[in-house]
Structure formats: structure tokens, C-alpha cells
Amino acid sequence: MQIRENKLVNFQEENSIKLKKIDYVEFYVGNAQQAAYFYCKSFGFKAIAYAGLETGVRDRKSFVLEQSDIRFVFTSPLTPDGPVAEYVRLHGDGVYNIALLVDDARTCFQTAIARGAKPIQEPTVFKGENGYIIKAAIAGYSGDLIHSFIERHNYSEFAPQYHPIENIPIAIPTGLVDIDHIVINVELGKMDLWAEFYHQVLDLQESQQFTSDDISTKYSSLMSKVLQNNTGQIRFPINEPAPKYHKSQIQEYLDFHHGPGVQHIALRTNDIVQVVRQLRSNGIEFLDTPETYYQNLPNRIGEIDEDINTLRDLKILLDRDETGYLLQIFTKPLVARPTFFIEIIQRKGAEGLGNGNFQALFEAIEREQANRGNL
């Protein structure tokens, strides 16, 4: 496989829209109670806050889960109609909001709207016991994916109408540290438009791109562009299908999700061997990797700190670039439809996305896709 040389860009000193990092990711799901339980028990999250009838919210129920710097919110509808129910009816369980922490939510919102973004929530100030929070939101380029701007000032609660969970059930963290990147799948011909939107509206810069010649099997291929902020704390690879003889795996996602959306979230760890052992013993299933992948590995990767037999047993993938190497692994879909999954990644100097593994990942997903009769 040929990987096109990274198109490195010179970032401005600071984004003019000043995004800091991902504050939280909110999922709309059929049963928030069970989704929260699943992520606590299997991935080691801690449930920290709750919103619902008891906190004055009449139409939905939400749980906030936390592990180190990762925050997931799971929200379910309490009514048969309304935006949450409509999302779940159409897409199944999935990501609705990638919320971004900012210094100035009003300016971010006004700048984004002036640059053509669609408003979802005007900047609103909510006072807490001590400080305050300002929330605003814009629509993404298309589909049901939005971005909140969150500005916090000494605000100890998670968000208005959320109450802390008393007597937090014991959760054993698995060693996940933060969100490394979030991948968005979009329709054929739309990748450039989404990339342009994130560049124009949120000042994200294109750092890498892959063409259909880079990543392909005899059945299908994909194209990808990576958009990120100046610190790399917000990084969105955007994939579009490049159909060849059969249905691209990106197209399978689009068909079952009914439109563009988040394909996977990569969670970073400093000890992938320990995390994957723990997740496997908690019942999480990962994509399989063929034995042949490990035969060439020493030649391809060179010297590494880990024992190669351990990596082979756990099916962990490796990739090296100019600055170091990285280890990664992908779960099978975590929802009923073949859509959303999680990646676990550990970086040892490498700043890429595991480009050398795109092909291996692609082939592994395709085997699963064939089992589902969608190839």
C-alpha cells in the first residue's frame, strides 16, 4: 500500500475561534440507563451526574459518565416523539453532539454563524452555586450531528438541570485517558464539503489525506481527510466511500445509520496491553487480526518496548512513522446496527492515525461485513 505523504500545515499560533478541547460527547440512545451501565461495567467509566424527571427535565433522561479526561453523556427520550426519539428511530444509538470547550462561547457562536453555520442554541448563561456556564450550539455540516460551545467559569455542576449522582457505584477505571480523535463517515462526494466546513467555520486545519488508491481491497475503498485544531486535542478524520465492485464499508455505515455520522471514537491510554486485557475479560469483542499480520511486523516496525507475542495474543495493531510508533485496536460495533465502534490507542511518539493499519483494519471490517451479508 502506498500512503500519500502527509500534507503538514503551518498552524496559526492560535485558532481565531479558540477551541480548547472536547468537553463531552453526547449519545442519543434507546435506553440510557443500560448504555450507562454497559460503559461503566465494561469500559470502567464512573457515572457522575444525572438529569431526568427528578431534576425537572420532562422529556428525556441523561447520565454523565467520566474516566480521566473523557466524558460521555447518554440520553434517552421519555416520550414517543421529539428530537431524541426521532434521532433514535432514524439512526439507532449514535453520537449527536461533540461539545467543545471554549474560552468565549458567545464569540465562537457569533463567528461560526457569520461564517455560515446554522444556529441550534443561542448563547445562554446558566448560574450555578458558585460560578456560571455559557452554552451555545451550531449544526454540523449536515445530518444529525451538532457542536455545542461550552464556556465554564468555576461551575462545579456538569450542566444545568444535572444533579450529581449520590453514592456513585464502584467503578474500576480501565486506564483510558482522553479522546484522541473522532471519525465521521460522510456520503460519496461530500468529504471535501465537510472538510471545508470545519476549516471555514471552526478553523480546523487539514493535516493528512488518503485517496482511494491508498486504502483499498479488491472489493471497496475509502477516501479520508483529517481536520484538527492547532494543539491536536480536537481531531476529526472524515471518510467518504469510494465504491469499486461491491459495497464500501463506509456505505454500509451510511445505509444503516441513515446518513452521515460518527463512525468511531478513539480513546487514548498509556498502557494498551493492560486496557485490552481488562476489556476482553469484561466481555468486549475486538476486530480480529490475521496471524500473517504479525509475521512481517518486526521488519515493518523495528524495535518496540512490548512483547510481540503478547500483542499477537491480544490482536493489537502497530504502526510506525517518522517520530515514533503507536499501538491500536478496534472493537466490533457496540450498538445493534453495524455503525458505531471504539478504538483504543497508545502513542509512543507517533502522531499519526495508524496509516499503515488502515489496510489491515479495512480488511478486518470487510470480513465482518461479509458475515453480515452486506458485501
Binding site for Fe ion (CB under 5 A): 266, 343
Pairwise CA distance, residues 307 & 123, whole Å: 51
Shortest CB 261 distance to Fe ion, Å? 15
Q: Which helix (H) or strand (E) holds 224?
A: strand 220-228
Task: Output 67 or 208, the one with its CB closest to Fe ion.
Answer: 208
Relative to beta strand 94-102, strand 70-77 is unpaired
Task: Output 226 or 335, the one with its CB closest to Fe ion.
Answer: 226
Task: Output 26 or 343, the one with its CB closest to Fe ion.
Answer: 343
What one-character-per-residue DSSP string does 333-369 give?
PSSSSS--EEEEEEEEB--S--HHHHHHHHHHHHHHH
Pairwise CA distance, residues 208 & 275, whole Å: 28
Pairwise CA distance, residues 191 & 102, whole Å: 26
Shortest CB 368 distance to Fe ion, Å? 16
Task: Output 135 or 257, the one with its CB closest to Fe ion.
Answer: 257
Which amino acid would we find at residue 321?
A: D
Shortest CB 328 distance to Fe ion, Å? 7
Task: Output 185 or 230, the one with its CB closest to Fe ion.
Answer: 185
Name the burial class of residue 37, with classes exposed (0-12), middle (13-18) and buried (19+) by CB atoms within 10 angstroms of its CB: middle
Shortest CB 209 distance to Fe ion, Å? 15
Shortest CB 77 distance to Fe ion, Å? 30
Task: Output 184 or 314, the one with its CB closest to Fe ion.
Answer: 184
Shortest CB 360 distance to Fe ion, Å? 13
Contact 369, 288 (CB under 8 A): no
Shortest CB 239 distance to Fe ion, Å? 10
Task: Output 49 or 266, the one with its CB closest to Fe ion.
Answer: 266
Give the three cell numbers for residue 263: 463512525
Contact 99, 25 (CB under 8 A): yes
What one-character-per-residue DSSP string does 274-334 give?
HHHHHHHHTT--B----THHHHSHHHHH---SS-HHHHHHHT-EEEEETTEEEEEEEBPPS
Task: Output 24 or 358, the one with its CB closest to Fe ion.
Answer: 358
Shortest CB 97 distance to Fe ion, Å? 20
Which amino acid would we find at residue 299?
A: N
Pairwise CA distance, residues 239 & 363, whole Å: 16
